[in-house]
Amino acid sequence: MKKNKLFYQDNEITIFLIESKKYGTFQVKIDTKNWNRVKKYSWHINFNWKTKKIGAVESKESRVEYGRKQIVIHKLLTDYKMTDHIDGDVLNNLETNLRECNHSTNAMNKGKQRNNTSGFKGVYFEKNKWRAKIEINKKQVHLGYYSDKIEAAKAYNKAALKYHGEFSKINIL
């Protein structure tokens, strides 16, 4: 069993490396107090080729407490039913970056779609104008048409803060 390499450690933060011939080297951050639980496993990156993004930090080792199931690092550290990485970085597994969520609130914190052409979440070119829309309670809500995509992004941001609260992923303007 290949163990991951300890890269940095102080009283608060531990960073270990996951090395992959296919994907390169990744730095995973955890709280130092969790290192003894994490170091028991050999971790790897679950890479999604469609989105070209890291899906999760996983281990497929069998342990008595997990049976033969796949172990996801944030699940091991929090024991939440579903976990949201506040900054969107699945390599950052510090407790301050993890919060409990549900499917809906987790989706609120996602970035723009990969087929996005405006550069802003919730902003689309339609009918020769920039359209702003947001999903609220599994329903698409139209926020208006704008001649400027920045104005449409501002409309999205305002609605995201109002309806998604702490889970909102706002556009950087």
Could you report the per-residue pLDDT of 68-98, keeping only the tens digit for each?
Answer: 567 899 999 998 999 999 998 999 999 999 9
Q: Which residue, of 100, 126, 145, is where some domain finishes?
A: 100
Closest CA to 18 of 57, 61, 72: 57
Q: Based on the domain organization, do 142 and 86 belong to the same domain? A: no
Q: How many domains does the structure of the chain reveal?
A: 2
Residue 172 lies in a domain: no
CA distances from 106 to 42, 92, 125, 127, 141 (A): 27, 16, 26, 31, 18
Residue 79 lies in a domain: yes
Residue 140 neighbours by CB under 8 Å, 6+ apart: 133, 134
108-131 burial, b if ≥16 CB within 10 A, otherwise e? bbeeeeeeeebebbbbbeeeeebb
Could you report the per-residue pLDDT of 34-64, keeping only the tens digit for each?
Answer: 999 999 888 998 887 777 778 889 987 655 5
67 has pLDDT over 60: no
Q: Which residue, of 45, 74, 100, is where some domain finishes?
A: 100
Residue 105 lies in a domain: no
Residue type, 9: Q
Q: Based on the domain organization, do 96 and 120 belong to the same domain? A: no
Residue 129 pLDDT: 96
CATH of the domain at 134: 3.30.730.10
Residue 38 neighbours by CB under 8 Å, 6+ apart: 14, 16, 30, 73, 76, 77
Residue indicated by tokens 């639980």: 37
Q: Based on the domain organization, do 84 and 117 belong to the same domain? A: no
Could you report the per-residue pLDDT of 130-158, keeping only the tens digit for each?
Answer: 999 999 888 999 999 999 999 999 999 99
Residue 127 lies in a domain: yes
Distance CA 157, CA 115 (A): 20
Q: Based on the domain organization, do 80 and 157 belong to the same domain? A: no
Residue 107 lies in a domain: no
28: domain range? 5-100
Residue 9 lies in a domain: yes
CB 100 within 8 A of CB 82: yes
More confident residue, 90 or 65: 90
Residue 173 lies in a domain: no
161 has pLDDT over 90: yes
Taking the whole predicted model, whether its pTM rises above 0.75 is answered as: yes
Residue 172 neighbours by CB under 8 Å, 6+ apart: none
Range with the poorest average pLDDT among 20-29, 111-120, 161-170: 111-120
Distance CA 15, CA 127 (A): 49
